[in-house]
Amino acid sequence: MARQAGTGGVYTGSVLASNADGTTPQSFTLKVEALHIITSVNNATFTAGTSNSFTVTATGNPLPLVGASGVSPAAPRLGITSNGLVGVPPVTAVGKYTLTVTAVNGLGTVTQPFTLDVKANPAITWNTPALILFGSALGAGQLNATATILGVGTIPGKFVYSAPVGTVLPPGQNLISVTFTPTDVTKYFIGTQEVFVTVNLTPTQPVQLITTQVLSRDANNNVVATITVANAGSSTAQNVTLSSVKIGTVAGAITPPSVASIPSGATAVFTATFPAGSVPASGAPGSISIAGTYTGGTINSSGRIVLP
């Protein structure tokens, strides 16, 4: 045989007839028709506003003709070709569509249900923030990206920043990123953006300790205050100790209680844990006070908070 058995195609060989007078050969041709199978996947995603295509593929003998039909609902600027789909759908066409792909040869027609998702890429706008002084925590003034779709406007979703609210960045140029996840991921893609945040270190005294805090709750509903102490001075702060962190009049358990030093332009991170139920409930207003010492000076700061 000229071809492997079990596959469609034309096979050649010979037939032999033998008796006492000898052997007579005869050439023989066998044509095998193979059932056709659609080999392409049963789904695709098109991006609105750009050129897209999807090719339907199939095997069989004879080689089948492939195509698609019956797009539902009707999709603007989406075309069906002799071997698949093409189109530049507008952003107004975002959504899910169903259709049928086909493969046809002399043995009949094979169909496959097909799903087409049309999604739009959001434009993430995030202007480069104004420079900040070392020791200042990132907040809404820096973390203010927006997501829009041309012709649609702002779309809702969740922004996750690589440096979240409350982060104290080191001096210099800091590259931070944001990932936007739309509320409706069936219509819109996830988007990302990056910006540089410039942090200036401008010492006005040898040791200048600045405290910031971020409040959260752990798995046991305890309130955890993460306290960053930044040294914006020109000299190293030695023997830095936090002696008290209070929410209202309730003192938290501090870890670690002290660090040996904080160089100029560096930070140290402490945590203060408040047992569940010892402080007001989530959403309640309150106050936080932080006290401590370092060689040659003291730490005192306070402010208003909202309980997490």
Specify the pTM: 0.80
pLDDT value of position 23: 75
pLDDT value of position 47: 96
pLDDT value of position 5: 37
Residue 8, token pair as written in the block: 């469609």
Q: Is the pLDDT of residue 116 over 90?
A: yes
What is the average pLDDT score of the chain?
Answer: 91
User: In terms of pLDDT, which residue wins out, 107 or 267?
Assistant: 267
pLDDT band at 136 (very low <50, low <70, confident <90, very high): very high
pLDDT value of position 90: 92
Q: Is the pLDDT of residue 40 over 70?
A: yes
pLDDT band at 135 (very low <50, low <70, confident <90, very high): very high
pLDDT value of position 106: 80
CATH topology of domain 41-119: Immunoglobulin-like (2.60.40)
Architecture of domain 209-306: Sandwich (2.60)
pLDDT band at 1 (very low <50, low <70, confident <90, very high): very low
Question: Which range is least confidently modeled, 5-9, 204-208, 271-275?
Answer: 5-9
Question: Which range is least confidently modeled, 82-91, 135-144, 254-263?
Answer: 82-91
CATH topology of domain 123-200: Immunoglobulin-like (2.60.40)
Enumerate the CATH 2.60.40.10 domain ranges in the chain, comma separated.
41-119, 123-200, 209-306
Tens-digit pLDDT profile for residues 160-207? 999 999 999 999 999 999 999 999 999 999 999 999 999 999 999 999
Q: Is the pLDDT of residue 8 over 60?
A: no
pLDDT value of position 7: 52
Q: Is the pLDDT of residue 236 over 50?
A: yes
pLDDT value of position 29: 65
What are the beta bridge partners of residue 9? 32
